[in-house]
Amino acid sequence: MDISVVVPLYNEEESLPELASWIDRVCSENGFSYELLLIDDGSSDNSWDVVTLLASENQHIRGISFRRNYGKAAALHTGFKSARGDVVITMDADLQDSPDEIPGLCQMIKEEQYDLVSGWKKKRHDPLIKRITSKLYNFTARKVSRIKLHDFNCGLKAYRSDVVKSIEVFGEMHRYIPMLAKQAGYRKIGEKIVKHRSRKYGITKYGLDRFIKGYLDLLTITFITRFGKSPMHLFGLLGSFMFFAGFALVLYLGIRKLSFVSVGLRAPLITDSPYFYISLAVMIIGTMLFMTGFIGELINRNSTTRNEYLIKNEI
């Protein structure tokens, strides 16, 4: 099978028939064998009834329904596990992503040998505040990940099949799939300028809180990619530095008191100095950080996936 199109959806009953018809037309015109995976993320409207009807009318359509709303990452992960195509395309169900982009994305995967191609909505039909926060968020993600993409959160992406089978999307990490792919060893990541359409039906399911969550997720995935296998390298280093800094300050206060005593002067009490309590707090925090890294190493040592590595080829 050439293509698997994975579409997470939540309360999109109006747009689904048009989206399915559009994808079918594009794939038929280009001679693609395809499957359309509609992942219903616990919709509260009639989306699942529409999916059921579409699947009964079109043999290329498969539907999966969650019992409740788990989030876009869970829907993508389920779709990735079920996908059978050589190229996996993801897009949103709200018709803001154009299926006409599918041939170009497939060409970049098959002919130009990209592992992952991300869409870039260069001209966005969004409110000004959303465009500004998106630019700030993407700038930060680009600097942290060192992946030269302009739009990390674009739902329209294309992957080689083995890429989606090698990564695990969890929590709200769908924003950082390129970073997960890079961590898994897939380095050829590109982007394609795609058309962004105005929303035709319904209202957006995301608010400004997603940008706060996005930055928190960025911190999480940065830690996981750099220190997930060796937490002691971060917590142990910080803990040791803070402990010895506090110890050096206490040592200085002790030597200072002894120097006063040695020349017969009345030495101030060490406990009268605020630096004594600061040094104690720093030493305690350093010890806690060190123990956090130590516990992290113990957990990692007992993990069943500690020695799982992705093999590229074997002769």
Contact at 8 Å (CB) between 134 and 153? yes
Within a domain: residue 175? yes
- Both 244 and 295 in one domain: the answer is yes
Q: What does the alpha-carbon distance between residue 78 and residue 70 come to, in Å, rounded to a whole number? A: 11
Domain count, the chain: 2
- What domain range is 263 assigned to? 232-301
Within a domain: residue 308? no
Of 66, 89, 67, 70, give the one whose Cα is nearest residue 6.
89
pLDDT (tens place) for every residue of the chain, 315 residues total:
799 999 999 999 999 999 999 999 999 999 999 999 999 999 999 999 999 999 999 999 999 999 999 889 899 999 999 999 999 999 999 898 999 999 999 999 999 999 999 999 888 767 777 777 778 888 888 888 888 898 888 889 999 999 999 888 887 788 889 988 988 889 899 999 998 887 777 666 565 566 677 777 777 777 777 777 788 888 888 999 999 999 999 898 888 888 888 877 777 788 888 888 999 999 999 999 999 988 888 887 776 655 555 555 565
- H or E, element range at 65: strand 61-65
Domain end marker among 227, 257, 275: 227
In 228-273, where does DSSP find H-type helix?
A: 232-262
Contact at 8 Å (CB) between 37 and 4? yes
Domain end marker among 211, 227, 243: 227
Within a domain: residue 81? yes
Within a domain: residue 158? yes
Contact at 8 Å (CB) between 167 and 81? no
**How far is CA 27 from each of CA 35, 154, 201, rounded to the nearest angstrom?**
10, 21, 24
- Both 115 and 189 in one domain: the answer is yes
- Both 27 and 49 in one domain: the answer is yes
- Both 248 and 155 in one domain: the answer is no
Provide φ and ψ at 97, rounded to 5°: -95, 130
Within a domain: residue 315? no
- Both 159 and 281 in one domain: the answer is no
pTM assigned to the model: 0.75
Give me the pLDDT at residue 117, please.
95
Q: What does the alpha-carbon distance between residue 18 and residue 14 come to, in Å, rounded to a whole number? A: 8
